[in-house]
C-alpha cells in the first residue's frame, strides 16, 4: 500500500537534490536550509519530537539571519523562451495539465470504480498521492518531449524554489503555530470569550462569529492558515459541528474562505498586498488593499450565507 511515508521520501529526495545543487553553487545558507528540510522529510517519522523541533529551530535560525538567498541557475534567455513558445505553441500547457488531470481523474476512478478495491493507496490519502504520481508522469513526459540537459529540471526547480525562499515553509510553519496555539488552549480562551457573546442556540450568530473570527484572525496573523486551527477549536468544532450538527465539509472549506477575505484586507499579507504596491510603484502603499475592500466585505457576507444555508438549512 502506498502511504504518505512514500511521499515524504520522494519530497525529501527532491530537497536533498536542491540542497546539493546549492552546495555546488556555494550558497551555504540555502544548502543548509533545504538540507534541514530534507532531513525533516526523510527522518521526521523516525526521530523524536524534540529532534524535529531542533530541525525547525535550525531552519528558522538560517532564515532569521538572512541566510537564504535567491539563486540564478543557468536558463534560457528571454529571446530563446519567446522562440520556443512560438515553436512549441499551446502544447506547452499539456505537461502542466497532466498533474491536475491525473489527480482529478485518478481520485474519481479510485472512489467510484473497482480500482478503489485494490486498496493501492492509504485510505483518504489518494488525492495527494495521485498528485505526486501526476508530477512524475508530467516530468517524464516533459523530459522525453523537450530533451533538456540532465540537471535542467532540478536547476529550474531550484530557481523557482529559491525565489519563493523561506516562504515555501511558511504555510507548514503557520499550521504548526496553529497547533501550538491549540495545545496552549488559545482556541478555548477565544471560545470562552466568544461563548459570552453568542446567545444559546443561535446558529446564525455562531456562524457570523466563526466567519468574523476567521477574517479578523487572518488579518492579525496575515494568513488564514494560522487562523483556521484556532477558530476551529474555538467555535467551528465545538459549537457549529458538535452542538449544532452542521456539515463538516462546508464549515471547514467556507470557513477557510472567510479567512481569505481577511487576507485581502491586511498589510500583514505582505506578499499579496504590499509587494505588488511596490512592484507597481503605487504612491499609496495600501492602494491594492483599498481596491480589495469592496470585494472582500460582500464576499465575506456571501460566505456567511453559504455556511448557514449549505452547512445547516440544506444539510439538516
Partner 1 sequence: MNYWPLLGIAIVVVGFALRFNPLLVVVGAAVATGLLAGLDFVAVVEALGAAFNGNRYISVTWIILPVIGLLERYGLQQRARGLIENVRGATMGKLLVTYLGFRQITAALGMKDIGGHPQAVRPLVAPMAEAAAVKTHGDLPDDDRDKVKAMAAATDNVGLFFGEDIFFAIASILLIQGVLESYGYELTPLELAVWAIPTAICAFLIHGGRILAFDRRLAKHPSRSEEDRA
> Hey, which residues between 203 and 232 contact partner 1 (CB under 8 A)?
220-222, 224-226, 228-229, 232
* 312 binds partner 1, rule: CB under 8 A: no
Q: Is the dihedral of CA 127, 128, 129, 132 positive or negative?
A: positive
* 29 binds partner 1, rule: CB under 8 A: no
* Shortest distance, position 266 Cβ to partner 1, whole Å: 9
* Shortest distance, position 26 Cβ to partner 1, whole Å: 21
Give the binding range for partner 1 (CB under 8 A) out of 19-27, 114-122, 199-207, 299-307: 299-307
* Shortest distance, position 118 Cβ to partner 1, whole Å: 17
* Binding-site member from 95, 194, 207, 213 for partner 1 (CB under 8 A): 95
- Stretch 154-193: interaction string toward partner 1, x if CB under 8 A: xxxxxxxx--x-xxxxxxxxxxxxxxxx-xxxx-xx--x-
* Binding-site member from 36, 207, 211, 257 for partner 1 (CB under 8 A): 257
* 111 binds partner 1, rule: CB under 8 A: yes
* 105 binds partner 1, rule: CB under 8 A: no
Judge whether 34 and 18 are in contact, CB under 8 Å: yes
- Residues 43-82 contacting partner 1, CB under 8 A: 44-45, 48-57, 59-60, 63-64, 66, 75-76, 81-82
* Binding-site member from 120, 204, 302, 313 for partner 1 (CB under 8 A): 302
| Helical pair 287-308 and 248-263, crossing angle rounded to 10 deg | 160
* Shortest distance, position 241 Cβ to partner 1, whole Å: 7
* Shortest distance, position 303 Cβ to partner 1, whole Å: 6
Amino acid at each position: 500500500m502506498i502511504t504518505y511515508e512514500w511521499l515524504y521520501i520522494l519530497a525529501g529526495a527532491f530537497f536533498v537534490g536542491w540542497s546539493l545543487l546549492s552546495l555546488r553553487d556555494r550558497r551555504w545558507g540555502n544548502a543548509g536550509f533545504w538540507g534541514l528540510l530534507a532531513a525533516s522529510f526523510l527522518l521526521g517519522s523516525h526521530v523524536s519530537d524534540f529532534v524535529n523541533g531542533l530541525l525547525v529551530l535550525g531552519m528558522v535560525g538560517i532564515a532569521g539571519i538572512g541566510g537564504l538567498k535567491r539563486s540564478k541557475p543557468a536558463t534560457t534567455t528571454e529571446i530563446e523562451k519567446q522562440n520556443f513558445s512560438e515553436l512549441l505553441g499551446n502544447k506547452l500547457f499539456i505537461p502542466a495539465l497532466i498533474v491536475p488531470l491525473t489527480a482529478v481523474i485518478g481520485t474519481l476512478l479510485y472512489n467510484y470504480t473497482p480500482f478503489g478495491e485494490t486498496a493501492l493507496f492509504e485510505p483518504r490519502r489518494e488525492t495527494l498521492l495521485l498528485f505526486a504520481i501526476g508530477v512524475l508522469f508530467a516530468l517524464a513526459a516533459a523530459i522525453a518531449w523537450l530533451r533538456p540537459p540532465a540537471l535542467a529540471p532540478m536547476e529550474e526547480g531550484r530557481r523557482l524554489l529559491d525565489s519563493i525562499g523561506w516562504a515555501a515553509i511558511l504555510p507548514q510553519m503557520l499550521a504548526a503555530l496553529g497547533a501550538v496555539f491549540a495545545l496552549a488552549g488559545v482556541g478555548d480562551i477565544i471560545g470562552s470569550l466568544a461563548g459570552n457573546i453568542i446567545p444559546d442556540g443561535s446558529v446564525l450568530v455562531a456562524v457570523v462569529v466563526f466567519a468574523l473570527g476567521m477574517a479578523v484572525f487572518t488579518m492579525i496573523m496575515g494568513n488564514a492558515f494560522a487562523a483556521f486551527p484556532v477558530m476551529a477549536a474555538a467555535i467551528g468544532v465545538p459549537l457549529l459541528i458538535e452542538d449544532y450538527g452542521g456539515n463538516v465539509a462546508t464549515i471547514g472549506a467556507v470557513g477557510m474562505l472567510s479567512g481569505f477575505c481577511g487576507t485581502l484586507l491586511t498589510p500583514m499579507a505582505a506578499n499579496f498586498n504590499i509587494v505588488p504596491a511596490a512592484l507597481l510603484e503605487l504612491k499609496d502603499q495600501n492602494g491594492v488593499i483599498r481596491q480589495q475592500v469592496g470585494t472582500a466585505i460582500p464576499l465575506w457576507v456571501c460566505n456567511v450565507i453559504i455556511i448557514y444555508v449549505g452547512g445547516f438549512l440544506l444539510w439538516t
